[in-house]
Every structure is written in C-alpha cells, then in structure tokens.
C-alpha cells in the first residue's frame, strides 16, 4: 500500500530486495548491491546478479560522489506545493562499477548544471527511518 507525503508525493516503498538500501540510507550511507561471485554491482537491487545469475550478493557502501550523466529540468509541479523548476538527473556513482541512479540535483539553478559535473549525495531526512538520497554540486 502506498504511503504519501503531505505534499502528495508517494513515499518510497521497501521490498525484500531494497530494504537494506533504505536501511543504509536512513543512516546516510549510500550502498549498491554487489555480487560475491563476480563482483558486479547493480542498482536497483535484485534477487540475483544480472551478470552471473547467482543469488550470493551483499550491499557495498560507496562514497556518495559521482557525476551527472544526463538531466532534465521539470517546470510543471507534480505534487501540491512542489517548487519548480526542479532537476531530475541520472548520476554515475563513483566506485560503483558504472552504476547509475536517478535522483534530484538540489541547491543549484538548472542553467548552471552541466553533463559531467561532479556531485555528491545530500541526504534529505523525511522521517526517523526514511532518508532520500539527493545530490548537490561537489
Ligand atoms: Zn555475479
């Protein structure tokens, strides 16, 4: 069942595979799933390694640094009281074997953004057990 933030945005929901990611996030640690057999790293988490198909994986903490792979600027709000414009970006995570994640770039004017810009994670605490990884200029 979806839970909602007061502004009308859906809250992230953990499942069996993603729970360790969200538990680490609550402690402001950014992790990716890493295979114990072939060392492949992946996100989002999966029951099996997408490279070798084994189910022997663990969660590996990464630095939280990365760079902007691509981005778009959103000018229409999708929730009540949402500030626009905001930036949705694909970020290549440092030391994560090429893993990219989708998030927001915060504390920047959209016209200042560039592909390849170094960024670092900026945790947004939503509650005692939920923190969302956003990114800002490194
Ligand atoms: Zn593997």
Q: What angle do CA 40, 87, 41 make, to 5 degrees?
A: 5
**Residue 41 C-alpha to ligand 1 middle, in angstroms?**
8
Which domains can be identified in the chain, with CATH numbers?
Answer: 19-137 (2.40.50.840)
Look at residue 30 in the predicted model and tell me its pLDDT.
98
The pair phi, psi for residue 110, each rounded to 5°, is -50, -35
Cα-to-centroid distance, 35 and ligand 1 (Å): 5
Global pTM value: 0.92
> pLDDT value at position 41?
98
Per-residue pLDDT tens, the chain, 138 aa: give them.
788 887 777 888 899 999 999 999 999 999 999 999 999 999 999 999 999 999 999 999 999 999 999 999 999 988 888 889 999 999 999 999 999 999 999 999 999 999 999 999 999 999 899 999 999 999
């Amino acid at each position: 069942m979806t839970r909602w933030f007061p502004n009308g945005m859906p809250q992230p929901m953990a499942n069996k595979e993603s729970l360790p990611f969200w538990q680490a996030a609550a402690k402001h640690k950014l992790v990716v799933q890493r295979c114990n057999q072939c060392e492949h790293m992946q996100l989002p988490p999966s029951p099996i390694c997408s490279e070798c198909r084994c189910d022997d994986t663990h969660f590996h903490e990464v630095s939280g640094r990365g760079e902007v792979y691509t981005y778009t600027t959103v000018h229409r709000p999708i929730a009540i009281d949402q500030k626009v414009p905001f930036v949705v970006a694909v970020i290549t995570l440092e030391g994560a074997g090429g893993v990219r994640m989708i998030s927001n770039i915060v504390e920047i004017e959209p016209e200042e953004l560039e592909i390849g810009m170094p960024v670092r994670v900026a945790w947004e605490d939503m509650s005692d057990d939920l923190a969302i990884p956003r990114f800002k200029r490194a």
